[in-house]
A and B are shown apart, each in its own frame.
Chain A
Amino acid sequence: MTDISASIVRRDAAAKISGRAAYVADLAVEGVLHARTVRSTIAKGAILKVDVPPLPEGVYTVDHSDVPGENGVKIIFKDMPVFAEREVRYIGEPILLVCGPDKEVVDEIARTIVVTYREEPAVFAWIDSKAHYAYHKGDSDKAFQNAARIHTETFETGYQEQAYLEPQGMVGYPEADGKITLVGSMQCPYYVKNAVLGVLACDDAGIRVIQAETGGAFGGKEEFPSLTGAQVAVAVRKTGKPVSLLYERTEDVEVTTKRHPSKITLSAALDADLRVIGLKATVGLDAGAYLGLSGVVLSRALIAATGAYTIPHLSVSGDAYRTNTVPTGAFRGFGAPQMFYAVEQLMGHLAASLGFDPVAFKRRHLARQNDETSTGGRFRDPILLPSMIDDVLERSDYKRKRRAFAKDGAWKGIGVSVFFHGCGFTGSGEATHIKARVRLEKDADGRVVVRVASADMGQGSSTALAKIVAGVLGRPADTVFVPHPDTDLAPDSGPTVASRTTMIVGGLLARAAAKLKEAWVDGVVQSAEERYVQPDFIRWDEEAFHGDAYPAYSWGVTAVEVEVDRRSCAVTLKGVWSSYDVGTAIDELLALGQADGGVTQGIAYGYLEKMEIRDGRLRQRNFTDYVIPTASDVGPTDTVFVDNPFAYGPYGAKGLGELTLIGGAPAVTAAIEHAIGRRITKIPATPENLLELIEHGQD
């Protein structure tokens, strides 16, 4: 463990424990109007008319006709309206806001508004592709022609809800100079700002966005707050008053983005030595009613098609389909959890059919330093997977358990997953789209304020970034401050996504801190700025999907042990052992928190968290129906971070936040398969699904 990894007390913890930390619902805003959204009750159709009852004094409705600029929320495209105008495309699509001083009056009016539709046939089948990507490597046709053996399987994954504990919320108010300020629960203040600029048709000075204390996000507050921010900004513009839009849990679950359901078909071609030399992958994702980030999610899934393995001949393609369902979007892992689930299952099933131990079979294919990546880039840095696997097998007592559980019919199982996460934006995104900037401001007393747009939504980035800056400056961490981002004060260091904050933003801050240290004069106000410059070795051809998809890769190995109840098929977690290579852990306790939380979400994705949709309507709409792990659903965790410093990361750090989720689902499903002696091709592997498999499934 290096010095930087020694933990300090996290900055925000004391205020959070005591209840003093102010989340958006805790803000006291004088004269605020409470907003409630009136939504589509049908999956597809034309809006014929909207009947609004006579409104009491001081109550307003806000709809598409109040949008001063373009009625489109910029995410990547402006394909999603702020308020539906002539048509609706999913159940829950926002049509208008009712705003007023009394919550109950607002709710009552919202309930009495009648929208008349001309219903049209909704599309739920995956036929309308709105994003299609494909790439090839080597000669997969030849590999399949000459294959000694071909194995094909289709895997399906379901929705997953982020289930951050704090529901979405946004408050806006007018400033004296006509500016509108938005304060909300969010990951990406500049995403919100850029979306609102087009919606209000105002200039840069017309809108200010501030992140409130944010009670968890996991991707769910990446793009969605751009929609609520735009709606609140329009409402403030119309009413001239402060407006507060706070979701309750049911509304939040029903209408916010979730993880994309997927269907992935993989064909593997094996040579005479029983080595996988060719892979064909076809990926389908359900984008919901608007594309949003789905194209980017799809590309991350496709790039991960080979898992943590080197396979020379590839043919990979995928589509994100538009359907008349709630839009899907960012969720920790961003397409990778679906793909790694499928690849790890494929490798496990191949091993079983060939008579190999699954881990032994995986070992034969591990990516090594200097290997070509799936997209023809290069793994430049050391890959420590062999020793990480050794360590996880030893700590979990894998070999003994693997044999013993199989023999005595104990309904116990153990499974191992091997995975990576590409750190930072895909391809040349950092250089071409994000162009991150950071600033350090030092006052006369030597206190340093970190000005970045990166949001601490619980992951601890404000503590990690303070440590990096203080470390480089050689000053105590408590002289460095990382306030919540405010677009009037902080430059755009990019969104808080893609496991980029520590590595990319932290890296820029380390450089800015080195500059500041060099120029440091006691008693003087000083500042230092840095901007992102792509290292020369990163080459990415967006059109051809070729080159270095990521500047660095974090790696992981996770073992999960389960016991399955013979009668109910309920799964109990007996233990979770992981090893992660995140370069350098900037703070061991923070990193362990990311590890425990991420793997818990990943495992639950594999066996517990079920969300289904029927005729465009979600069947799980709250925490009673949509079950996330409680304290009694988790097993003991045993986590190791290996040191493998990345030359371009601050103190050697790479990405951390998403990696830890990715191995959970494939490890727990492999463990359940071991326990029940059946193949699983669909997650979540709920007790009902397991019972069905035990009756009719394949060995």
Chain B
Amino acid sequence: MARIEFTLNREPVVYEGDAARRLIDVIRDDFGLKGTKEGCGEGECGACSVLVDRAVVPSCLFPVANVHGRHVVTIEDFRNTLRYRALERAFLEEGAVQCGFCTPGMIIAAEALLSKDPHPAAEAVVEGLAGNLCRCTGYNMIVRAILRAAKDGDGLW
């Protein structure tokens, strides 16, 4: 039984249990945060993306032990930010959402990308989405949405 202390969505939390458990299970089952989705369970699809110390990680491959002392942000907290508002508006206006299962992960990936590169070129956005699969949109509308968020949300990142 391990004791893991970390920050989850700006709140200090303690997890006691199997240290090898997947972060996604802890987030979804123990903390009830269902916005993080499981699409493949092997780190290929990115639907389970969360931020750990501002970097995007696939929570389905991440043992909870690895977040000890670190800050985990899920869509449930990120959605309260101005950056989220800019991304949300751009996703709505560019038609970047269809089935929506990949979308929270896409938003998290976009946040990680724009934090590092607030004015990305289209190629950089494509690269930033390399770990996130979408089967509905063919990606171009998502790429346009992120470029638009960067432009309309200039100064937020």
Interface residues of chain A, those whose CB is within 8 Å of chain B, are 7, 9-10, 12-23, 25-26, 28, 162-167, 213-218, 248-250, 457-460, 589-590, 592-593, 596-597, 599-601, 622-624, 628-632, 634, 636-637
- Residues of B94-150 at the interface with A, using a CB-CB cut-off of 8 Å, are 94-95, 97-104, 107, 125-127, 129-130, 132-143
Is the Cβ of A166 less than 8 Å from the Cβ of B92?
Answer: no
Offer 5 A-B interface pairs, CB within 8 angstroms, sorted by A. A25-B38, A166-B99, A215-B37, A623-B133, A637-B138
With a CB–CB cut-off of 8 A, which chain A residues contact B47?
165
B36 adjacent to chain A (CB < 8 Å): yes
Residue B6 CB within 8 A of the other chain: no
Nearest 9 Cβ contacts at the A-B interface? A19-B35, A16-B100, A458-B99, A215-B101, A600-B138, A596-B138, A623-B44, A589-B95, A19-B75
Q: B104, A596: Cβ atoms under 8 Å?
A: no
- Name the A residues within 8 Å of B74 (CB-CB): 19
Q: Is B126 in contact with A216, judged by CB distance below 8 angstroms?
A: no
Contact A20 B35 (CB under 8 A): yes
Task: Specify the chain B residue showing the minimal Cβ separation from A252.
Answer: B40
Q: How far is the CA of A163 from the CA of B74 in the complex (A)?
A: 25
A249 pairs with B136, CB closer than 8 A? no
Complex Cα gap A165–B47 (Å): 8
Which residues does chain B contribute within 8 Å of A22, judged by CB atoms? 34
Residues from chain B with a CB closer than 8 A to the CB of A166 are 37, 39, 99, 101
Shortest CB-to-CB span from B101 to chain A, Å, is 3
A597 touches B137 (CB 8 A): yes
B51 to chain A, nearest CB (A): 13
CB nearest neighbor in B for A9:
B92
Cα distance A166–B39 when bound, in Å?
6
Given contacts A17-B87, A593-B98, A593-B136, 15 further A-B contacts (CB under 8 A): A16-B103, A17-B97, A19-B34, A19-B75, A19-B104, A23-B101, A25-B34, A25-B38, A162-B135, A458-B100, A596-B141, A600-B139, A631-B125, A631-B143, A634-B140
B92 touches A19 (CB 8 A): no
Contacts A17-B97, A17-B104, A215-B99; A634 near B39 (Cβ below 8 A): no
C-alpha gap A629/B97 in the complex (Å)? 17
What sequence of 0s and 1s flags, for each residue 63-75 of chain B, a beta carbon within 8 Å of any chain A beta carbon? 0000000000011
A489 to B62: give the CA distance in the assembly, Å: 43
Identify whether the interface residues of B are mostly helix, strand, loop, or mixed. Answer: loop
Roughly how many angstroms separate A631 CA and B137 CA in the complex, as a whole number?
A: 10
Interface residues on B, range: 35 or more
Q: Which of A18, A592, A631, A637 counts the most chain B CB atoms within 10 A?
A: A631
Question: Which residues of the partner chain A approach B32 to less than 8 Å between Cβ atoms?
Answer: 28
Looking across the interface, which residue of chain A has its beta carbon closest to that of B122? Answer: A636
Which of chain B's residues has its CB closest to A633's CB?
A: B139
Instruction: Judge whether B44 and A596 touch: CB under 8 Å.
Output: no
Tell me the bound Cα distance from A167 to B102 in angstroms.
12
Give Cα A10 to B42, complex, Å. 31
| Interface flag for B152 (CB, 8 Å) | no
- A-side contacts of B79, CB under 8 Å: 17-19
* B55 adjacent to chain A (CB < 8 Å): no
In the complex, the chain A residue whose C-beta lies closest to that of B75 is A19
Q: Which residues of A lie under 8 Å from residue B132 when comparing CB positions?
A: 631
Contact of A165 among B45, B76, B138, B142 (CB under 8 A): B45
Residues from chain A with a CB closer than 8 A to the CB of B88 are 14, 17-18
Give the CA-CA distance A165 to B36 in the complex, in Å.
Answer: 13
The interface centre, meaning the residue of A21, A22, A214 with most chain B CB atoms within 10 A of its CB, is: A21
CB distance from A13 to the nearest CB of B (A): 4
Please tell me if B153 contacts chain A, counting CB pairs below 8 Å: no
**Are the CB atoms of B42 and A18 closer together than 8 Å?**
no
Which one of B76, B97, B125, B135 has the greatest number of beta carbons of chain A within 10 Å? B135
Q: In chain A, what residue has the closest Cβ to B79?
A: A18
A405 CA / B156 CA spacing, docked (Å): 45
Give, as a whole number of angstroms, the nearest-CB distance from A90 to chain B.
23
A634 to B129, CA, bound (A): 12
> Are A12 and B100 interface neighbours, CB within 8 A?
yes
The interface residues of chain A lying within 8 Å CB-to-CB of B127 are 632
Task: Give chain B residues whose Cβ lies under 8 Å from the Cβ of A167.
Answer: 39
B36-A19 in contact (CB<8A): yes
CA distance A26 to B44 in the complex (A): 21
Known interface pairs A458-B136, A597-B135, A623-B44. Does A7 touch B95 (Cβ–Cβ under 8 Å)?
yes
Complex-state Cα separation, A162 to B99, whole angstroms: 13
Complex partner residue of B98 from A163, A458, A629, A634, CB under 8 angstroms:
A458
Among A214, A218, A637, which residue has its beta carbon within 8 angstroms of that of B135? A218
Q: Are B39 and A165 in contact (CB under 8 A)?
A: yes
Q: Would B137 and A596 count as touching, CB distance under 8 A?
A: yes
Which residues of B17-57 have CB atoms within 8 Å of chain A's CB atoms?
32, 34-42, 44-45, 47
Contact A18 B101 (CB under 8 A): no
Assembled-state Cα–Cα distance A22/B79 (Å)? 16
Task: Report if A216-B34 is in contact (Cβ < 8 Å); known contacts: A18-B88, A249-B41, A637-B138.
Answer: no
Pairwise interchain contact A634-B91, C-beta atoms closer than 8 A: no
What residues on B are CB-neighbors of A25 within 8 Å?
34, 37-38
- Which chain B residue has the least Cβ–Cβ distance from A623? B44
- How many angstroms from the CA of A623 to the CA of B47 in the assembled complex? 13
Question: By the criterion CB–CB under 8 Å, are A457 and B99 in contact?
Answer: yes
Q: Which residues of A contact B126 (CB under 8 A)?
A: 631-632
What is the bound-complex CA distance between A401 and B20, given in angstroms? 56
- B residues within 8 A CB of A630? 129-130, 133, 139
Give chain A residues whose Cβ lies under 8 Å from the Cβ of B134: 165, 631
Distance in angstroms from B113 CB to nearest chain A CB is 11
Please, which residue of chain A has its CB at the minimum distance from the CB of B125? A631
Chain B minimum-CB-distance residue to A248:
B41
Which residues of chain A have C-beta atoms less than 8 A from B97's C-beta? Answer: 10, 12-13, 16-17
A21–B104 CA distance with the chains assembled, in angstroms = 10
B95 to chain A: which residues have CB within 8 Å?
7, 10, 589-590, 592-593
A29 to B100, CA, bound (A): 22
In whole angstroms, how far apart are the Cα atoms of A623 and B39 in the complex?
10
Q: How far is the CA of A167 from the CA of B32 in the complex (A)?
A: 20
Choose among B39, B98, B138 the residue with the greatest number of A CB atoms under 10 Å from its CB.
B138
Of the candidates A13, A248, A632, which one forms a contact with B91 in the assembled complex, judged by CB atoms under 8 Å apart? Answer: A13
What's the Cα separation between A49 and B135 when bound, in Å?
41
For A217, what are the chain B residues with a Cβ–Cβ distance below 8 Å?
99
Nearest-neighbour CB distance to chain A for B75, whole angstroms, equals 4
Contact (Cβ within 8 A) A628 B36: no
Q: For B137, what are the chain A residues with a Cβ–Cβ distance below 8 Å?
A: 593, 596-597
A164 to B107, CA, bound (A): 19
CA separation between A12 and B138, bound complex, in Å?
A: 19
Q: Is the CB of A165 within 8 A of B135?
A: yes
Are B130 and A18 touching (Cβ within 8 A)?
no
A572 to chain B, nearest CB (A): 13
Q: Assess the B92–A213 pair: CB atoms within 8 A.
A: no
**Residue pair B92, A13 in contact (C-beta under 8 Å):** yes
List of A residues within 8 angstroms of B103 by Cβ: 16-17
Cα A628 to Cα B39 in complex, Å, equals 13
| Interface contact A17-B100, CB-CB below 8 Å | yes
Kindly identify which residue among A20, A21, A622 contacts B44, using a CB–CB cutoff of 8 Å. A622
Beta-carbon contact of B100 and A632 below 8 Å: no
With A165-B135, A593-B141 in contact, is A18–B75 under 8 Å at CB? Answer: yes
Q: Is the CB of B99 within 8 A of A164?
A: yes
Docked Cα-Cα span, A599 to B40, in Å, equals 23
Which residues of B sit under 8 angstroms from A163, Cβ to Cβ?
A: 135
A216 with B136: CB separation less than 8 A: yes
Q: Is the CB of A21 within 8 A of B100?
A: yes
A596-B42 Cα distance, complex, nearest whole Å: 27
Q: What's the least CB distance linking B20 to chain A, in Å? A: 12
Among the interface residues A16, A20, A22, which one has the most CB atoms of the partner chain B within 10 A? A16
In the complex, A623 Cα to B98 Cα: how many Å? 20
Q: Which residues of A contact B37 (CB under 8 A)?
A: 19, 23, 25, 165-166, 215
